[in-house]
Amino acid sequence: MPLEYKLLDIFLWIFCVAGLTTIITSSSIFLPIREFVSRRSNFFGELLQCYICSSFWISLALSLLYTSPTNNIFLDAVFGTGVVWLLSKQTQNVVSEEDHRMQIAAMEQHIRFLEEKPPKKP
């Protein structure tokens, strides 16, 4: 298989693992299933809510059903978990930077409000 196709398979595999992990662990569309499973089994409920745990098993299943990027199913599962962890850390950084910007904008607006407010007369 040419290198270009192997790289395409690896990227497709990574995006499938990351996408399926996000859908299963945090999407609103999967929420009823997570709640149902959580009511039935604490272990499997936690498994469906933990992106690290889910990404391991999703990577393992995808390697069995689609393709194995490393030709070692256990290594694929560890690789998939690591990739999802790295992507989640990047996403958290983006979100926290956006939250930080919103907090600064709110403080600046509050300061402008206080500056425009006339002082009270005694």
Structural domain contains residue 111: no
Residue 15 covered by a domain: yes
Domain count, the chain: 1
Alpha carbons 120 and 122: distance in angstroms, whole number? 6
| Both structure tokens of 94 | 């983006």
| Rounded-to-integer distance, Cα 38 and Cα 50, Å | 12
Spatial distance between the Cα atoms of 20 and 11, rounded to a whole number of angstroms: 14
Question: What DSSP state is assigned to residue 66?
Answer: T
In a domain, 108, yes or no: no
> Does a structural domain hold residue 9?
yes
Q: What is the pLDDT of residues 37-78, one digit of tens each?
A: 999 998 998 999 898 999 999 999 999 998 888 888 899 999
List, in order, residues 6 or more apart from 43 with CB less than 8 Å away: none
pLDDT digits (tens, 9 = 90+) for 5-32: 678 888 899 999 999 999 999 888 999 9
**Domain-located, residue 23:** yes
- Does residue 68 belong to any structural domain of this protein? yes
Is residue 119 a part of any domain in this protein? no
The whole model's pTM is what?
0.68
**Structural domain harbouring 39:** 3-86
